[in-house]
Amino acid sequence: MFKSVVLAVLGVGVVAAAGFGLYAYRSPIEAMQPADRPAFDAATIEKGRILASAGYCAECHTAAGGKAYAGNFPIASPFGTIYGSNLTPDPETGIGLWSPEAFRRAMHEGVDREGARLFPAIPFDHFTKMTDADVDAVYAYIMSEVEPVRQATLEPTIPFPLNLRFLQAGWGLLFVDYGRYQDDPSKSAEWNRGAYLVEGVAHCGACHTPRNALGAEKRAEQYGGAVVDSWTAPALTAANPSGVPWTQAEFARYLVTGAGTFHGVAAGPMGPVVHGGIAELPESDIAAIATYLGDIVGAPEADAQQSPVVLASIAAGKPDPAYRQALGERLYVSACASCHYSVPENGVTAARPDLGINSATREADPSNLIHVILDGVAVKEGSGGVVMPAYREALSDSQIAAIAEYLRASRTGLPAWENLDQRVADLRAHVGTH
Pick out residues in 360-399 that bind ligand HEC (CB under 6 A).
360, 368-369, 372-373, 377, 381-383, 386, 388-389, 391
Q: Which is nearer to ligand HEC, 19 or 152 (CB)?
A: 152
Distances in Å between the alpha carbon of 114 and those of 62, 103, 165? Answer: 23, 11, 12
Pick out residues in 126-145 that bind ligand HEC (CB under 6 A).
138
Pick out residues in 301-360 that bind ligand HEC (CB under 6 A).
335-336, 338-340, 351-353, 355, 358, 360
Q: Which is nearer to ligand HEC, 161 or 185 (CB)?
A: 161
Q: Sort 164 into a burial class: Cβ within 10 Å, 0-12 / 13-18 / 19+.
A: exposed
Nearest approach, Cβ of residue 102 and ligand HEC (Å): 8
**Among 88, 96, 119, 297, interactor with ligand HEC by CB under 6 A:** 119
Nearest approach, Cβ of residue 385 and ligand HEC (Å): 8
Nearest approach, Cβ of residue 69 and ligand HEC (Å): 9
Using CB under 6 A, count the residues that bind ligand HEC: 75
Contact, 232 vs 196, CB < 8 A?
no
Residue by residue, what is the 3-state secondary structure of 192-253? HHHHHHHHCCCCCHHHHCCECCCCCECHHHCCCCEEECCEEECCCCCCCCCCCCCCHHHHHH
368-387: buried (b, 16+ CB within 10 Å) or exposed (e) per residue? ebbbbbbbebeeeebeeeee
User: What is the spatial distance between Cα 226 and Cα 232, in angstroms, rounded to a whole number?
Assistant: 6
244 binds ligand HEC (CB under 6 A): no
Nearest approach, Cβ of residue 10 and ligand HEC (Å): 31
Helix (H, G, I), strand (E, B) or coil at 79: coil
296 binds ligand HEC (CB under 6 A): no
**Among 56, 181, 196, 262, interactor with ligand HEC by CB under 6 A:** 56
24 binds ligand HEC (CB under 6 A): no
Pick out residues in 393-412 that bind ligand HEC (CB under 6 A).
403
User: What is the spatial distance between Cα 219 and Cα 145, in angstroms, rounded to a whole number?
Assistant: 36
170 binds ligand HEC (CB under 6 A): no
Candidates 19-27, 37-45, 200-208, 213-221: pick the segment binding ligand HEC (CB under 6 A). Answer: 200-208
Q: Which is nearer to ligand HEC, 273 or 427 (CB)?
A: 273
Pick out residues in 70-89 that bind ligand HEC (CB under 6 A).
75, 82, 84-85, 87
Contact, 205 vs 199, CB < 8 A?
yes
Site string for ligand HEC, 203-242 (x = CB under 6 A): -x-xxx-------------------x--x-xx-x---x-x
For 356, residues 6+ apart whose C-beta sits below 8 A from its C-beta are: 407, 410, 411, 412
User: What is the spatial distance between Cα 86 and Cα 100, in angstroms, rounded to a whole number?
Assistant: 17
DSSP class per residue in 408-422? IIIII-PPPPSSHHH
Report the first-to-last Cα separation within the chain, whole angstroms.
97
186 binds ligand HEC (CB under 6 A): no
Q: Which is nearer to ligand HEC, 101 or 381 (CB)?
A: 381
For 232, residues 6+ apart whose C-beta sits below 8 A from its C-beta are: 225, 226
Q: Which is nearer to ligand HEC, 12 or 333 (CB)?
A: 333
Q: Which is nearer to ligand HEC, 216 or 377 (CB)?
A: 377
